[in-house]
Structure 1
């Protein structure tokens, strides 16, 4: 009986830890061929970082909320706009001020979710600041990050297409 008394809390702890580790089987983010041409103007380093940020954000939110466990999530960035000039844009156009130049930023994302049961759902989401007055923060990619977070929360809630 003493062994069972020791093993029961251990089993409960392992079960909770296993549930906390539940996550999508794969989150794959790419850049659309049409956007790839524009991506060069933004700089490959910045675009690559945005792909990594979107992947990390979606994985983190879905894991934290135990949503879409075992699903394969394929997302494609179809548009990306920075709030401030990227390093490449500053090099290409020296008149841009990396701190004082601001613009409406955001991103557009499309894709597919294949659930663990095999159902396929289209994904479509975009967000851009409505006006310059609504641009918040001091980051080059502030509105893009807002888009990633909102998309991830929508996916966790089962809303795959924004209207």
Structure 2
């Protein structure tokens, strides 16, 4: 066992310290806004839901960047726009405005996000990502924004890896 521990420590010391950070962009600020198409649905979904979605996306991206060492004061700016989000379950506003809905109602959800990453030296890189669940089987166990949250987590992982565009 001691031999394995020593071997693992020696192997880890051979890797350059920056190997894990090679593709992670340096970001000083993450800004998340709601796109005009989604904002037009405020009377159907509720403004409170947009605040939740923006917070969720920002938290997911910042957590990934911080873990990878990409969240730094000298980094660039990451601006993300939530263009579309589909809930798995009815939002509170939908429940009150449509009598036939209940919290037992469910469906597939997901999200579409765009934006740009502007590096510290001014180079702009577009960001596009979308993911919608296609299998309704898991939706019966989901909360209101489970699939949208999963889409945000997947986007955050891609940003951490320096992959900004996936259609």
Q: Do they fold alike, i.e. is TM over 0.5?
A: yes
Distance 1:132 1:90 in 2: 20
Aligned to 1:111: 115
Q: What is the CA distance between 1:104 and its match in structure 2?
A: 0.9
Aligned partner (choices 119, 129, 136) of residue 132 of structure 1: 136
Aligned to 2:93: 88
Confirm whether residue 157 of structure 1 aligns to residue 165 of structure 2. Answer: no
SS of equivalent residue, structure 1 residue 28: strand
Aligned partner (choices 78, 82, 85) of residue 83 of structure 2: 78
Distance 2:53 2:115 in 1: 16
Aligned partner (choices 53, 57, 78) of residue 56 of structure 2: 53
Distance 2:71 2:52 in 1: 24
Q: What is the CA distance between 1:62 and its match in structure 2?
A: 0.8
Distance 2:92 2:54 in 1: 17
Q: Which runs of 5+ in 2 are unaligned?
A: 1-25
Q: What is the CA distance between 1:49 and its match in structure 2?
A: 0.8
Length-normalised TM-score, structure 2: 0.79
Aligned partner (choices 146, 149, 167) of residue 142 of structure 1: 146
Q: What is the CA distance between 1:133 and its match in structure 2?
A: 2.0
Aligned positions, number: 140
Check whether the contact 2:49–2:91 (CA below 8 A) recurs between aligned residues.
yes
SS of equivalent residue, structure 1 residue 25: strand
Confirm whether residue 40 of structure 1 aligns to residue 38 of structure 2. Answer: no
Check whether the contact 1:73–1:112 (CA below 8 A) recurs between aligned residues.
yes
Q: 1:136 to 1:161 in 2, by over 3 A?
A: farther
Q: CA RMSD in A?
A: 1.5
